[in-house]
Every structure is written in structure tokens, then in C-alpha cells.
Amino acid sequence: MSKTQTKNLKFIDFCAGIGAGRLGLEKNGLSCVGFSEIDKRAEITYRKFFGEDEINHGDLTKIDSKKLPDFEMMIAGFPCQTFSVIGQRKGMGDERGQIIFSLIKIMLAKDLKYFILENVKGLTNHDNGNSLKVILQELEKAGYKVFCEVLNSIDYGVPQMRERIYFVGIREDLVPDDFQFYFPKRQPRADVKDYLIDTKELGFDEKKVAYETFLKYLDNKYNKDRYDIKEILEQDYLVIDTRQSDLRIYHNKVPTLRTGRHGILYVRDGKFRKLSGYESLLLQGFPRELAKKVDGVIDEIHLLKQTGNAMTVNTIEAIARELFKTLEVYEK
């Protein structure tokens, strides 16, 4: 598929969150013609990024496909709470787990050419693999050649460990029977110090109550005598994850950003700092100029939650690039 053809492709950003999937496709020259998101706070951030005039089609389970503009591709990070290891794992028994069927309904109604979908790694083994099997069967029944694989964001240009399953679909009449898609190869690792760059006062020191809580945490039965705080503070850009019980330490990488995880600290210039919303956006692949638009505008707690729910821009960009490079070879 030529660059000219790619630029003519339009897509809608479903289960949009704050638009990471959109950015990944736009970096490949595609044009967004609307989005669908029900989280009002996420919508505010989305509009800060992309403009107040963007059209939100709302709850995708209630969308009348006839009222959607013409588009050829779908991007969607469909709800993962029902498949995640940190959720209740109800899967298809939860209405959020059935969002996939609403997406398929739109695919069929608009006769879409392509899609990229994302979900948590936990989907691969939910209900002994039956949930994934049903999703693949339904997508194939809808007339698509489907390829899926678990990728880690840390292998695609950001220093965040984030394993997610990605689905790539191509309408089967567009490619030959022997069509094969291979997910992008791993890229060189990024340096965490290029991402932990916030200059706002988000210190974490002995003057704050939270610091005292941290010291008690280090002295609990799981961590007692395991860590020397002086030695930790001597290691710039050491990343610390304060989990419920045990503390985990990471070198040149950051653990998975999650909606409810706000306990990530790191060392810089001999002091502890909290991971900020701005930095979490960078760790999800948002460019600095875009992240600056919401830095100090959207409350930290909401920005951290939203980035925890987001896709990784770099990973979507790499998948889309590989898809269109492959289609250029195979396209009839």
C-alpha cells in the first residue's frame, strides 16, 4: 500500500480513552474522523489533545452505524477489566466483556477493511483460553483474516514494561488466501532518564507524611532489613514500585502503568520523586509537546489514571507501519 493510499485512509477511534491509538495511526498518515468514549474525564483530556470540535459518538453499544461517517479502519482498546488479572475476570459474563460484539457489528455494517484491537495479556488464558477462542472465531466469522500476539511496550521504544495482546484484522477479500502478517520486530531499548524529566515540585522527602509511611513500609515484615535507603538514594533513575506488600526495584525500566497504581517512585539527584502524570504520558509514547498541553491542566490523579488505561502510541505505530508495509506486497 503506497503512502498516498495510506493517507487517504480514514479511521474512527473506538474506546478511545485519551487517544493513544489515534496517535499511532496518525503517525502512519491516516486521518481520524471521530471517536467514541464514555468516560467524561478522559474525553476532556482527549479534546485538550486533539481539539474541542472533535466528534464523540458516545456509547458504541448504542451507535447507529448508518449515522457514522465513511471510514476504512477501526482502532479500539476494548474494555479489559473483565479479562485482567487485577479485575474480577468475569469475561463474557460481564457486559463490558461483550463490547467486542458491538465492535464487530460496526465492522460488518461499515464493511471495514482493517482493524487493530488491544486488550490485556490476561485475555490469553481467561476461562482456559475460551474467551480468546470465541473472540477470534467471531472476528473470522465476520469475514476477516485475524492475527494476534502479545507484545511488550518496552520492546517498541518506551522504557515501560507493558504486555498487551493485539489483534490485527484484514477483510479477507482484500488479500490472497496465503496472506500472512507478522508483528513488528523488537526495537532497541529506550533510556528511562529521557522520560523521567518532570521539573514540577513532586518531591518525596522527610518533610511529608507520605515519606514517614514509606519508611514504615520499608520496615514491614516483607521488606525489613532488605533495603538500605541510603544506598537506594545513591542510584539515580532507580525506579521503585511500592506494592501492597513487597517493594520492587527496577533498573532502566518502569513497571506497567495502571489505573490504580500511583505508588511509583524514582531517584533523581539523590532524592525520591513521584512519577508524574506528564512523565506517565511520555512513558506511553505521547510526544512532549502534546503532554505539555495537559500538564498542570488535568489533575495529576486523573492523568495517572488515564495513562494507566491508555494504549502505547509507539506499539500501535509499529503495528500499523508493519501492516501497511505487508499490504503493499500482498495487495491485489
Q: What residues are labeled active site?
A: 80
Beta bridge partners of 295: 298
Closest by CA position to 284, among listed 26, 21, 32, 83: 21
- The two beta strands, 163-171 and 114-120, are antiparallel
- The two beta strands, 10-14 and 31-36, are parallel
Exposed, middle or buried, 248 (CB in 10 Å: 0-12/13-18/19+)? Answer: exposed
DSSP result, 125-191: TGGGGHHHHHHHHHHHHTTEEEEEEEEEGGGTTSSB--EEEEEEEEEGGGS-TT----PPPP-PPPP
* 109 contacts 65 by C-beta, under 8 angstroms: yes
Closest by CA position to 281, among listed 45, 62, 104: 45
Pairs from 215-218 (Cβ < 8 Å, separation ≥ 24): 217/242, 217/247, 218/247
User: What is the residue whose three cell numbers read 511488550?
Assistant: 152
* 266 contacts 239 by C-beta, under 8 angstroms: yes
User: What is the residue whose three cell numbers read 518532570?
Assistant: 198
